[in-house]
Amino acid sequence: MVYIDYVAKVKDTGEVLEVTREEDAKSLSVHDASTKYRPRLVSVGDGWVMKGLDESLLKAGVGEKLTVEITPEKGFGERDPAKVRLIPLRKFGDDASKLRVGEQVEVDNRVGIVRFIGSGRVQMDFNHRLAGKSLTYDLHLLKTVTEPADMIRALVLRRVPTDEEKVKVDVKGGVASVELPQEVFFADGLQYTKRAVSDEIFKHAKGVGKVTFIESFESPEAKAEEAEAPKPKRRPSKKKKA
């Protein structure tokens, strides 16, 4: 398991697809204030990323910076003409008048891109929008993750939207205790998320056979009192005379 930073682009157009570092996002004019920028965790060889990127990471060393070109067959695949279909406009019901060329919409339980509208029909493209395109990754392999507690915290943060310092992890005797912050207790699908995180912990954190999630509620009054409590002042140390 490794942490990587990267800038991902479409090779031919230079379109920026994804950025993990905030300073890169700002310099490339794609910064989003709502995005939490941080290195990406990857279990190399487990298919967490595209095949072309996985293969490059298998050969890379810690600290190495490299540019990786990913061809369509090792990225989002080649374009398939059979996935382009003409659909009657009436099938979209009341939303038919709102359709616009280039937007993504769902029809027949599939998401596609509107390519053309005319003569009472809509041309829908169900290929991935990046199918047939080569990509480039300017990549920096930052570090590996080997310590069980660090690995477990990283796996939690991969699925739970919170800050690193708010996740407490303790590993003793094959049991991993994970304390989550109160802010995530009512997140949608949290129970399924904990199940998925547990499965990943059992797979990657060797020796861990049980995972316990701790959810503690704190009284608002106690929290306010703690914040208002005066902090003890440190007395300046007296210098000894020679």
Contact 127, 83 (CB under 8 A): yes
Tens digits of per-residue pLDDT, 81-126? 999 999 999 999 888 888 999 999 998 889 999 999 999 999 999 9
CATH number of the 1-79+128-144 domain = 3.10.50.40
Supply the pLDDT for residue 236: 59
Task: Decide if domain 146-230 falls under CATH 3.30.70.120.
Answer: no
**So where are the chain's domains?**
1-79+128-144, 81-125, 146-230
Confidence of residue 242 (pLDDT cuts 50, 70, 90): very low
Quote the pLDDT of residue 220: 76
Q: For the chain, where are the alpha helices, taking DSSP H only? A: 22-27, 51-59, 148-159, 190-204, 220-228
In the chain, how many H helices and how many E strands? 5, 12
Over the range 21-45, which residues count as b (16 or more CB within 10 Å of their CB) and which as e?
eeebbeeeeeeeeeeeeebebbbbe
Q: Name the pLDDT band for 55 (thresholds 50, 70, 90).
A: very high
- Per-residue confidence (pLDDT) for residue 223, from 0 to 100: 60
Measure Cα distances from 122 to 50, 105, 106, 198, 204 in Å.
Answer: 31, 11, 13, 44, 47
Instruction: Among 2.40.10.330, 2.40.50.100, 3.90.190.20, 3.30.460.40, name the CATH number for the domain at 81-125.
Output: 2.40.10.330
The string of pLDDT tens digits covering residues 179-195 is 999 999 999 999 999 99
